Copies of this chain bind each other. A is one copy, B any other.
């Protein structure tokens, strides 16, 4: 497909999978480059496929959706959040657990610059923002049963649990929005704490 790989060190899996992974990476990098260069909506699948050296059909087999080309990180985000919550000590409260999950999720990004770029792309592109919000909503629903046993007043019902989770995510979103507005100044988690403090008096 692309250049022949001269090196042939032993790999964990078959040569096929390695090629596959390489192709996926190539597609992803091309897509991200074009998105940041000329915008998401202005970049067509055809162009990405052409520049990545694959057919449109193959591209859609790797990533089922155009949004998936940038949404992979969101998928990671969701997975990491739920996983972190699951692995938290049993005596930790709901708010505490959620904060830890956000902290873990934020540590995914390699650099401030990369995080800023990606956040801005999602924040400014309507369709991407919509997809993110959708995934976030699903994540909240998944978190619900995990958090119910951690709620401090035992009389708390499902509806209230939902409100708590929704609030945590809302404050996280507000924090990232403010962080973006300030061009990446300060720490998102600090902004999250400040926002939550304002809410909970």
Contact = CB atoms under 8 A, between A and B. Distances in A.
Contacts of A161: 198
Contacts of A154: none
A201 interface: yes
B171 A163 contact: yes
B134 A163 contact: no
B159 A178 contact: yes
Contacts of A151: 198
Interface string A135-179: 001000000000000010100111111111111011101110110
Q: State the number of copies, please.
A: 2
Given A133-B134, A170-B169, A178-B158, A163 B126 contact: no
A194 interface: yes
A129 interface: yes
A71 to B, nearest CB: 12
Which of under 10, 10 to 19, 20 to 34, or 35 or more describes the interface residues of A? Answer: 35 or more
Interface of A: 126, 129-131, 133-134, 137, 151, 153, 156-167, 169-171, 173-175, 177-178, 181, 191, 194-201
21 contacts: A126-B134, A130-B134, A133-B134, A133-B137, A159-B191, A159-B194, A159-B195, A160-B197, A161-B198, A162-B178, A162-B195, A163-B174, A163-B175, A163-B195, A163-B196, A164-B195, A164-B198, A164-B199, A165-B174, A166-B174, A169-B170
